[in-house]
Amino acid sequence: MPKLRIGALPDDKPVKVTIELPASVHRDLVTYAEAVAGESGQRIDPAKLIAPMLVRFMAADRGFARIRRAAHSPKGDGGDG
């Protein structure tokens, strides 16, 4: 079985967000949660996979990383440096 990108989920204080997903995406989340359970033995609510998936997606997006660095850099630091 291939190694999944999402493994055990950290225990973190959540912020509630309500979203609507296409049924096909929900089915895939359920399947992914079942795969995680099979790999790690940890049963997971499929909705709890959304946050770590978004984290990985945003971490891999180089354009977003540049925007995030610029947003968090001190003003007047001269740019990307």
Every domain of the chain and the residues it spans: 23-72
50: left (phi over 0), alpha (psi -120 to 50) or beta: alpha
Distance from chain centroid for Cα 49: 7
The 8-class DSSP code of residue 47 comes to G
Query: pTM above the 0.85 mark?
Result: no
- The pLDDT of residue 79: 53
26 vs 11, residue with greater confidence = 26
* Digit-coded pLDDT (tens) for 17-69: 899 999 999 999 999 999 999 988 888 899 989 988 999 999 898 888 888 88
